[in-house]
Amino acid sequence: MSKEILKLKPQQLWKHFYDLTQIPRPTGQMKEVTKFVIDFGKSLGLEVKQDKTGNIVITKPATKGMEKAPVVILQSHLDMVPQKNSNVKHDFTKDPIETQIEGNRVKAKSTTLGADNGIGVAAMMAVLEDTTLKHGKIEALFTVDEEVGMVGASGLKKGFLSGNVLLNLDTEEIGELCVGCAGGADVNADWEFKDAEVPAGDVAYKISLTGLRGGHSGTEIHMGRANANKLMFYFLKEAVSNYEVRLSAIDGGSLRNAIPREAVAIVTLPEEDEKDFLKLVKEYEKIFKEEYKAVEANLSFKAAKTELPKTLIPEEIQDSVINAVIGCQNGVISMLTDFEGIVETSTNLASVKSEAGRISAKMLARSSSETRKDEICSSLESVFALAGAKVSIENGYPGWQPNAQSDTLNMMAKLYKDMYNEEAHVVVVHAGLECGIILGSTPGLDIVSFGPTILNAHSPDEFVEIDTVSKFYDYLVKTLENIK
């Protein structure tokens, strides 16, 4: 079924996207995909260079008559978020993505698709190989490891790029021209402990919260979707308080920038409390389904008897973790006043996981305001530090401040109206884009971000709307022709 996308138009773009789906490229595994891009550039006879971080620039000379046009940087990131449903056997380190067409959508079979940002990468490759286009000099910048703190963009050095205009191809709604984005930082909390013994007479249960929609913790944080970690710990707090439940293991969420979709806990409890405990599980499933009936149609909360674990998390650590997770701010914190409907500040309680002698919680804080980003990071640090955790704040990256006077923006807005007889929407997004970081290494850039419609990024429900891809690519080609 995967090769069906090769019949879609524009065929050059979809061919390159298909090739990308065959290369495992989760964040942190960039060797194979960077070699693929380097070999592609060299096969075209173009200048190719790679920096120490792994970022690649392929330079295409200006076409005849466009030699005096500003140098345009086209930019997309090579990595993808590896998310799958728990019942699917897929190894993102070696298995290709299996795509399928459903009506006007291209999606993957129970995994993330990688349209974020693979469609942007494929569009850049199509531009580089098409000798019929009109454009000034192009620097095609392929960054690495964007999804874990924008590592590639952060590693860019001054002088690596010479462009005047940056077109970032990582926005996910056709007709939107993005001129600003939020910055972010990771907040990590860790508890270390010595394992405790399982009380005599206890039985063990595996509690599973599954079927949540998850999604992108930037672009979809305002949609009211459930956070698996928050729901699991709401339940655990009552179960611990009323039924002598003890926590042995917890595995909730995965990636820092994905709203957690699943959480699993292993607990023990006195055998005489089994009946009441199972009744509580059913009650909470009913509560969760009622609270989220409008957005989480597939929510499931179940308990199944399991083998008794060898050890437990010490009671004082267990209680501290529960209180910290319950007290952790999650979701939208504030909205922008100048751009209606756009989130200013948010947090995502991305993961809570235990292993031998340790529990870790990871959060991603975002804000368009550097001071408010610092405030929310400080607030999270205080909550977890009061609960006895060792807290670190890492991978901070700046936001991208809007420039309403941008010449490129004004030209692109007019061009969109001329091409499609409709107004483009100028927006600031809450997701993190690499634009602000690239601006730091290449000052003075005039920047606009745009792309096709991609929904449910960072989740197995990710899809790209087929008709918007051709529209996006045609618009990109015309934009390059009109930057003079």
- CB of 135 within 8 A of CB of 59? no
Question: Position of tokens 């930082």?
Answer: 185
Sequence-distant (6+) residues with CB within 8 A of 71 are 136, 137, 138, 139, 162, 163, 164, 165
Looking at beta carbons, which pairs linking 314-318 to residues 24 or more positions away fall under 8 Å?
314/193, 314/194, 314/195, 314/196, 315/196, 315/246, 317/191, 317/193, 317/359, 317/388, 318/240, 318/246, 318/247
- CB of 217 within 8 A of CB of 350? yes
Alpha carbon distance 178, 399 (integer Å):
13
- The terminus-to-terminus CA distance of the chain in angstroms comes to 42
Find residue 189's DSSP bridge partners.
Answer: 361, 391
φ, ψ of residue 386 to 5 degrees: the values are: -65, -25
Kindly write down the DSSP assignment for every residue of 29-95, as one continuous string: --HHHHHHHHHHHHHTT-EEEE-TTS-EEEEEPPPTT-TTSPPEEEEEE--B---B-TT----TTTP
- CB of 439 within 8 A of CB of 400? yes
- CB of 24 within 8 A of CB of 96? yes
Angle between helices 228-243 and 274-291 (to 10 degrees): 150
SS3 state at 136? coil
Amino acid at 20: L
SS3 state at 447? strand
Sequence-distant (6+) residues with CB within 8 A of 304 are 205, 206, 208
Instruction: Enumerate the active-site residues.
Output: 79, 146
Alpha carbon distance 78, 27 (integer Å):
8
Handedness of CA 299, 281, 270, 326 (dihedral sign): positive
SS3 state at 352? strand
